[in-house]
């Protein structure tokens, strides 16, 4: 296959009541874990890169690695620009082949958010690339993007319907109580709000901040219409934890092929688990 946009993947998930997992990657190793595990489990998968990942690894490298994976395997694979705030950066990445993006203008007030998102949609759709946008505001930290708890804002269902209609986005990220990163207490998700959004909005809905959320809450959100589940922190912790453990036992280690391997193995277990939770295994 070639690299896909997320359009058909998410519509299939919406039709059949599961979610496609979107895993944030940072380099070749993390991309390999995500793709290899999805292939083993026959799950569609979205590889996501934030602006700082793209800056760190290079857009061409990330895109080329995803291309290799997509051509090598039969499962649907998309590479997605996650939490991009800069319209020009999105356009230049679409120009080099990215087929899916999130324009995050959630900090802006409603009309400005719509205008910025619409500009990206008009550009992306010319290249058959899909666009996700967020209405409301999630708390927590995603890379360099930090939103204080007091500034979080839940998605208003009526505004969501108008936002989707006027922007023409392909999927909507909703703020229903999740936050990026780890939680101080048990997260409380507003399922009534999710149901209402689902009843008013036709496009697939996206859950950000799915790390550290109890499995049953994520599964319930999927049963109520979430079609894409974003996971970053829950992958970083076991990867880095396994490396720390390896170095503590082998302080003399200097071979990346050796010290990266336990990190990959630890991350793989979590990717497997998240695919199970999403119900996306054996869909291809």
Interface with ligand 13P, residue 209, by CB under 6 A: yes
Interface with ligand 13P, residue 211, by CB under 6 A: yes
Per-residue DSSP letter, 144 = T
Residue of 235, 223, 230 lying closest to 209 (CA atoms):
230
Q: Specify which residues 171 forms β-bridges with.
A: 132
Interface with ligand 13P, residue 54, by CB under 6 A: no
Q: How far is the CB of 101 from ligand 13P (least distance, A)?
A: 12
Q: How far is the CB of 4 from ligand 13P (least distance, A)?
A: 19
Number of residues in the chain? 284
Interface with ligand 13P, residue 136, by CB under 6 A: no
Interface with ligand 13P, residue 181, by CB under 6 A: yes
| Annotated binding-site members for dihydroxyacetone phosphate | 181, 209-211, 230-233
Distance CA 120, CA 94 (A): 10
**Longest pairwise C-alpha distance within the chain:** 59
Distance CA 260, CA 195 (A): 42
Interface with ligand 13P, residue 129, by CB under 6 A: no
Among 116, 142, 193, 221, binds ligand 13P (CB under 6 A): 142
* Backbone φ/ψ region at 161: left (φ over 0), alpha (ψ -120 to 50), beta: alpha
Tokens of 145: 């993007």
Catalytic residue from among 36, 74, 82, 86:
82
Question: Looking at beta carbons only, is 76 or 104 nearer to ligand 13P?
Answer: 104
Which residues in the 213-242 window bind ligand 13P by CB under 6 A?
A: 230-234
| Catalytically annotated residues | 82
């Amino acid at each position: 296959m070639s690299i896909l946009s997320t359009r058909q993947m998410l519509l299939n998930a919406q039709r059949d009541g599961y979610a496609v997992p979107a895993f944030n990657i940072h380099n070749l190793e993390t991309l390999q874990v995500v793709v290899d595990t999805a292939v083993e489990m026959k799950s569609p998968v979205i590889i996501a890169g934030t602006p700082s990942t793209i800056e760190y690894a290079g857009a061409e490298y990330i895109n080329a690695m995803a291309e290799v994976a997509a051509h090598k395997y039969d499962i649907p694979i998309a590479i997605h620009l996650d939490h991009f705030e800069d319209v020009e950066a999105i356009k230049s990445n679409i120009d080099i082949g990215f087929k899916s993006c999130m324009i995050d203008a959630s900090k802006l007030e409603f009309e400005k958010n719509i205008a910025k998102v619409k500009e990206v949609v008009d550009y992306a759709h010319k290249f058959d690339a899909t666009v996700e946008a967020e209405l409301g505001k999630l708390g927590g930290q995603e890379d360099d993007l930090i939103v204080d708890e007091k500034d979080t804002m839940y998605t208003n269902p009526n505004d969501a319907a108008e936002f989707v209609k006027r922007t023409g986005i392909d999927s909507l990220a909703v703020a229903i109580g999740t936050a990026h990163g780890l939680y101080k207490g048990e997260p409380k998700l507003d399922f009534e709000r999710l149901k209402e959004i689902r009843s008013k909005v036709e496009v697939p809905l996206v859950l950000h901040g799915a790390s550290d959320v109890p499995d049953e809450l994520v599964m319930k959100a999927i049963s109520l219409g979430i079609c894409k589940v974003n996971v970053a922190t829950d992958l970083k912790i076991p990867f880095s934890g396994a490396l720390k453990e390896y170095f503590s036992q082998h302080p003399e280690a200097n071979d990346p092929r050796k010290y990266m391997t336990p990190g990959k193995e630890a991350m793989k277990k979590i990717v497997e688990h998240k695919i199970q939770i999403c119900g996306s295994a054996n869909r291809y």
